[in-house]
A and B are shown apart, each in its own frame.
Chain A
Amino acid sequence: MLFMNSPLEQFEINNFVNNLSFLKFTTFSLYCMLVLGVYYMFNMYVFKSGKLISTNYNMFIEALYSTMLNMVKSQMGNKGNKYFPLMYSLFMFMLFSNLISMIPYNFAINAQLMFTISLSMTIWMGLTMLGLIKHKFEYFGLFMPSGTSLPLVPFLVMIEMISNIARSISLGLRLGANMLSGHLLLTILCGLMFDFIMSSSFIIAILGFIPLIMILGIVSLEFAMAAKQAYVFCVLTCSYIKDAIYLH
């Protein structure tokens, strides 16, 4: 019988190769490789034949392509075309890693808060540099909405600046907290049902099957969350890039 001591045990990282530098091969790197493999298989193998009439797998990739293209176009217009590969690969990475983590007994990459927050901080820092290079000192005009009266200016600048800095953490924390709490919730609920079913009384064991319906609902909610958090991450990154390029 398999015991889970604590619900947080599923997020533990194992070290496969005992190497003290940062190049060591861990669970995290294994699952990163897996995501890359799934990405490669879906995107390269599918289009290898170069047929014009699409099969089902081609439809999947083409639907994702047009969704992402619509998102980038509607947010950034024609100037945003060169950010399309970045958004596409970010979306694919998030989507495949979230979906792989929904398979039972697998590891969730995006529940590692340190990785997601560092990713969002990197994105935020890159955007700030982009804006500063593009607009020089006019970039700070982002912190003041147009048409404010003069006495309100210092407060508004402070508030806008704080909200702009908080983006760097909240973008990654949203993704990480969603995945973390979703997987914790599933583990705790399944542990509860397991305790019921393993009890000695027959009636309680039958009663233990009732929460199965609720668990089914929550699992499907988690699948929807896995896709939607990837989408939300990309939409927010797009709107931040738009802010940095166009200044409102």
Chain B
Amino acid sequence: MPQLVPFFFLNQMFWGYLIILIMIILSSKFVLPRVLSIYLSRMFMLKLKK
């Protein structure tokens, strides 16, 4: 099986963890607050209408 070549193990783990780390930082700093702010402003406008 080509999956079991030990030559690439460290490389896979390094790149995979690097990308997941970058994604966690991106999503916690930029993406999720932006979605939340849109939700909050929608809720605010709904309350304002009443």
Contacts and interface: CB of A to CB of B under 8 A. Distances in A.
Consider the complex of A and B and state whether they touch directly, i.e. have CB atoms less than 8 Å apart: yes
Interface of A: 8-9, 11-13, 22-24, 26, 28-29, 32-33, 35-36, 39-40, 43-44, 47, 50, 52, 61-62, 65, 84-86, 88-90, 92-93, 109, 111-115, 118-119, 122, 180
A88 B27 contact: yes
Tell me what chain A mostly uses at the interface: helix, strand, loop, or mixed.
helix
Contacts of B38: 47, 50, 52, 62
A43 B30 CA distance: 9
Contacts of A8: 1-2
Given A36-B22, A113-B3, A28 B35 contact: no
Determine which residue in B1, B5, B38 has the highest number of CB atoms from chain A within 10 A of its CB, and name it: B38
Given A35-B19, A85-B24, A92-B23, A28 B30 contact: no
Interface in B21-50: 22-24, 26-28, 30-32, 34-35, 38, 41-42, 45
B10 to A, nearest CB: 4
Contact of A62 (B2, B14, B28, B35): B35
8 contacts: A8-B1, A35-B19, A39-B23, A39-B26, A43-B30, A52-B38, A89-B26, A112-B12
B19 A112 contact: no
Contacts of A65: 32, 35
A44 B30 contact: yes
A176 B17 CA distance: 16
A111 B16 CA distance: 13
A52 B45 contact: yes
A35 B14 CA distance: 15
Contacts, number: 101
A43 B29 CA distance: 12
Contacts of B8: 13, 26, 28
A14 B19 CA distance: 19
A22 B14 contact: yes
B41 A52 contact: yes
Nearest to B29: A85
A12 B8 CA distance: 10
A23 B2 contact: no
B19 A47 contact: no
Given A32-B18, A52-B38, A61-B35, 13 more contacts: A22-B11, A22-B14, A23-B11, A32-B16, A43-B27, A43-B30, A47-B34, A85-B28, A92-B23, A112-B3, A113-B3, A115-B12, A119-B20
Contacts of B11: 22-24, 26, 28-29
A152 to B, nearest CB: 41
Nearest to A122: B17
